[in-house]
Amino acid sequence: MRRLSATPALGQIAGMSAATRLIELPRLAATEALAAAVAALARSGDVILLEGPLGAGKSAFARAFLRAASGDPALDVPSPTFTLVQSYDTQIGTVHHFDLWRLDGPAGIAELGWQEARDGITLVEWPDRLGPLRPDDALRITLDINGEETRRALLSGWADRLERIV
Ligand SMILES: Nc1ncnc2c1ncn2[C@@H]1O[C@H](COP(=O)(O)OP(=O)(O)OP(=O)(O)O)[C@@H](O)[C@H]1O
Ligand SMILES: [Mg+2]
């Protein structure tokens, strides 16, 4: 017999962090504003995992994060699709932008300087490639495409800071 139970609130689902936020992003500028808000709260040692399908806006988020962190709205942020990681000296410390789409498996991540990068701030596209190296205390941002210009972001983690993100 099926047991009737109330739908669990987001954040009470097993395996999810207690802190979650769902944010509508009706245009690219909203994604950029979210990235700037996250950058304003980020500090050395943080890992930000960017999930979602091709074209969801992971790189757009990373670019806006790096521009905000650098105080340079024109900063060139090439996609690290081939180099897999690109590092930047910013006003909030060194930020490492990983794109692990082409990574074969967690073994290759050490050669990219994953451990050393943890001293700075780390942004990761395709973080499923991290396997067991995925940090528990990361901010996880899952972007969904729900229209040509519209995205939805589910944020989880950063229980101490999440409510300060606009
Ligand atoms: N609300 C929005 N937020 C983010 N990007 C948007 C939005 N609306 C439209 N876009 C467009 O969607 C595209 C997102 O591409 P982007 O390269 O950031 O995706 P991605 O998730 O990094 O994909 P990939 O997995 O291929 O690296 C860009 O062309 C961007 O201009
Ligand atoms: Mg990308």
Question: Is the CB–ligand 1 distance for residue 28 below 6 Å?
Answer: yes
| pLDDT of 48 over the 80 cut | yes
Mutate to test the pocket of ligand 1, among 65, 67, 149, 152 (most ligand atoms within 8 A of CB): 149
Per CATH, domain 20-164 is 3.40.50.300: yes
pLDDT at 8: 47
Query: Where along the chain do its domains lie?
Result: 20-164
Residue range 15-28: mean pLDDT, rounded: 83
The two beta strands, 47-51 and 139-145, are: parallel
Q: Give me the chain's average pLDDT, please.
A: 91
| pLDDT of 30 over the 70 cut | yes
**Cα–Cα dist 121/161, whole Å:** 16
Among 37, 3, 42, 13, residue whose Cα is nearest residue 23: 37
How much distance in Å is there from the Cα of 3 to the middle of ligand 2?
42
Residue range 17-24: mean pLDDT, rounded: 84
| 0.75 exceeded by pTM | yes
Question: Is the CB–ligand 1 distance for residue 58 below 6 Å?
Answer: yes
Mutate to test the pocket of ligand 1, among 126, 145, 151, 152 (most ligand atoms within 8 A of CB): 151
pLDDT at 3: 52
